């Protein structure tokens, strides 16, 4: 992180939708250029209008490291499928990976990362099929993601606004600080 404190930048729904469209276009380009590889699209989960804060690059870097360690020699990183902390924009962190393994196997391993890594609950690791559709957890027999704060499904709590923005950010802060204390000494 830098020494200077940057003012967080709010992103609008239009910004988020434009970023999603751009991400889909990049996914389609990568799938076309590497048809025999499996595509991973990584984003960082950050609730609210501010998708890039002091924790976003830390979470993104940890996710990239976990993916790189998991897939090691099966990982391909062409120039446009990169992963670094410069991939943070006002709409959040994103990175792309190509893997020489079948999509279902990749999805099983990425779910394991999300479930076991100290920051994994903050990783959104999608495995993208050739038709540019992500493989769901359900397709591989896994349960939906749980909420950060309770045992309900994350998407149910999100839709119902079960938890306040501040409660979620407090939990994220705690997860990042705990992880840093254990891994960045």
What's the pLDDT at 55? 92
Yes or no: say if 128 and 139 are a contact pair by the CB < 8 Å rule: no
Mean pLDDT estimate for the chain: 87
Mean pLDDT of all residues in 141-150 = 92
Answer yes or no: is pLDDT of 32 > 80.
yes
Answer yes or no: is pLDDT of 178 > 50.
yes
Answer yes or no: is pLDDT of 2 > 50.
no
Answer yes or no: is pLDDT of 63 > 90.
yes
What's the pLDDT at 91? 82
Please give the share of the chain, as a percent, with pLDDT higher than 70.
Answer: 89
Distance from C-alpha of 44 to C-alpha of 31, rounded to nearest angstrom? 22
Distance from C-alpha of 58 to C-alpha of 88, rounded to nearest angstrom? 11
Binned at pLDDT 50, 70 and 90, residue 92 comes out as confident
Q: Pick the residue with more confidence: 4 or 51? A: 51
Binned at pLDDT 50, 70 and 90, residue 3 comes out as very low
What's the pLDDT at 48? 84
What's the pLDDT at 70? 96
Binned at pLDDT 50, 70 and 90, residue 151 comes out as confident
- Note the pLDDT tens digit of each residue in 93-118: 889 999 999 999 999 999 999 999 99
Residue with tokens 């709590």, as numbered in its chain: 157
What lies within 8 Å, CB to CB, of 111 at 6+ separation is: 125, 137, 140, 142
- Note the pLDDT tens digit of each residue in 122-143: 999 999 988 889 999 999 999 9
Mean pLDDT of all residues in 12-38 = 91
What lies within 8 Å, CB to CB, of 65 at 6+ separation is: none
């Amino acid at each position: 992180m830098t020494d200077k404190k940057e003012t967080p930048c709010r992103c609008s729904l239009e910004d988020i939708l434009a970023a999603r469209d751009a991400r889909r276009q990049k996914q389609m380009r990568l799938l076309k250029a590497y048809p025999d590889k499996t595509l991973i699209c990584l984003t960082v989960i950050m609730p609210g209008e501010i998708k890039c804060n002091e924790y976003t690059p830390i979470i993104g870097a940890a996710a990239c490291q976990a993916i790189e360690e998991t897939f090691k020699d099966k990982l391909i990183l062409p120039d446009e499928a990169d992963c670094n902390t410069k991939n943070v924009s006002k709409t959040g962190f994103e990175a792309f990976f190509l893997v020489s393994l079948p999509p279902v196997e990749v999805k099983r391993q990425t779910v394991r990362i999300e479930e076991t890594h100290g920051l994994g609950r903050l990783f959104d690791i999608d495995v993208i099929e050739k038709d540019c559709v992500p493989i769901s957890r359900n397709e591989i027999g896994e349960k939906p993601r749980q909420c950060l704060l309770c045992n309900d499904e994350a998407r149910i709590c999100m839709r119902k606004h079960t938890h306040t923005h501040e409660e979620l950010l407090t939990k994220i802060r705690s997860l990042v600080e705990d992880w840093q204390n254990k891994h960045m000494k």
